[in-house]
Amino acid sequence: MTNAQNDIAELEKTALGLRRLALKIIFQAGSGHPGGSLSATDLMAALFFGGILRYDSSQPKDPKRDRFLLSKGHASGIYYSVLAKAGFISEADLDDYRKINSGRFLSGHGHPKTPGIEIASGSLGQGLSVAHGIALGSRLSGFDSKVYVILGDGEIQEGQIWEAAMSASKFKTNNLIAIIDFNKVAQDNITKDLKDIEPIGAKWESFGWDVHRIDGHNMAEIIGILRKPVHPEKPRVIIADTIKGKGVSFMEGQTAWHGVAPSKEDYEKALKELE
């Protein structure tokens, strides 16, 4: 199944449904990461259902496909929800999320045993390097595939991110597109107080990247930047200002909702806000 919903309102509706689904499976699992799933939802909805990412879920290993990597792997609640909606797995598979003997290996963090997933995640900082390797490999094979990777804002405190930033610049890997889900909140603290990553745009510019900054919850803006042709030689980074827990008022901007599942009461309250 390939998807191309061009209508912004339709995409927003899709994103709303994905938020409900992600919260549902985290609630069912009794554990997971709602905050970072909700902040990344609009970005992933645009990629998978806005006609950006080139994929065929019945051919998940097609060598000419575009690739998507979720480097901030803890947001698996939204990842699996998107993969189900895109047809890589079924919605029924989601009932196994974070449970033993999961038929599609729906672990707390993604793994390539699940169709649609390229590489294991769970340790922050590795995804940009992996995505870069994929971009180099695709280019070497003569394919025009693009590789999209979503990074967390806290994640870019990892030194390896900056090793990869230097590498992609050196190799002029312009089919690599990093998207930073800049939700301002990490597990321990707000990112700024944990260790400030600003001035974030200047950092990437000085590393030789084509830098763009958008509102990561404005679907028209997201689609607009994702449709922009690649830079002739620079890798691209899209800094998407987002809100942790976006869409559920009592979760928004809260470190407390980084890594806990909602109670039944909170889940029902959240669903009402996501209608």
Partner 1 sequence: MKDAATRDAYGETLLDIGNNTDIVVLDSGVSDSTRTKKFGQKFPERFFNMGIAEADMICTAAGLATTGKIPFATSFACFLLGRTMDQVLVSVAYSNTNVKLVGTHCGLAVGEDGPSAQMIVDIAYTRAIPNMIVIQPADWEETVQATKALVEHEGPAYFRLGRPKVKAIFDSSYEFEIGKGRVVKKGRDLVIFATGIMVQESLLAMEELSKENINVTLVNMATLKPIDDEIIIEQTLSHGALITAEDHNIIGGLGDAVGQVLLENQISVPFGRIAVKDQFAETGTGPQLFDKYGLSSNHIVQAVKNTINNKR
- The site for partner 1 (CB under 8 A) is made up of 63, 111-112, 118-123, 125-127, 129-138, 140-141, 159-160, 163-164, 166-167, 170-171
- Angstrom distance (rounded) from CA 13 to CA 2: 18
- d(C-alpha 260, C-alpha 84), whole Å: 22
24 versus 67: smaller Cβ distance to partner 1: 67
CA distances from 200 to 206, 238, 251 (A): 10, 11, 25
The DSSP annotation for 134-175 comes to HHHHHHHTT----EEEEEETGGGGSHHHHHHHHHHHHTT-TT
Q: Are strands 67-70 and 176-182 parallel, antiparallel or unpaired?
A: unpaired
Tell me the closest approach of the beta carbon of residue 9 to partner 1, in angstroms. Answer: 36
Distance (Å, whole) CA 6 – CA 27? 31
**Measured CA distances, 5 to 46, 49, 90 (Å):** 9, 6, 20
Cα gap 184→123, rounded to integer Å: 19
Q: Give the Å distances, CA to CA, from 188 to 39, 181, 242.
A: 17, 17, 18
Nearer to partner 1, 1 or 166 (CB): 166
* Closest CB 92 distance from partner 1, rounded Å: 26
> Shortest distance, CB of residue 79 to partner 1, whole angstroms?
16
Nearer to partner 1, 165 or 222 (CB): 165
Packing angle, helices 159-170 and 127-140, rounded to 10: 20
Whole-angstrom distance, CA of residue 192 vs CA of residue 185: 8
Of 117 and 222, nearer to partner 1 (C-beta) is 117
Q: Which is nearer to partner 1, 109 or 212 (CB)?
A: 109
Alpha-carbon span 53 to 184, nearest angstrom: 26
Residue 131 and residue 119 in contact, taking contact as beta carbons nearer than 8 Å:
no
Closer CB to partner 1, residue 27 or residue 204? 204
- Bin 273: left if φ > 0, else alpha if -120 < ψ < 50, else beta: alpha
- Cβ closest to partner 1, residue 120 vs residue 274: 120
CB of 272 to partner 1, least distance (A): 38
Q: How far is the CB of 177 from partner 1 (least distance, A)?
A: 14
Of the pair 14, 138, the CB lying nearest partner 1 is at 138
Whole-number minimum distance, CB 165 to partner 1, in Å?
9
In whole angstroms, how close is the CB of 223 to partner 1 at the nearest point? 26
CB of 239 to partner 1, least distance (A): 21
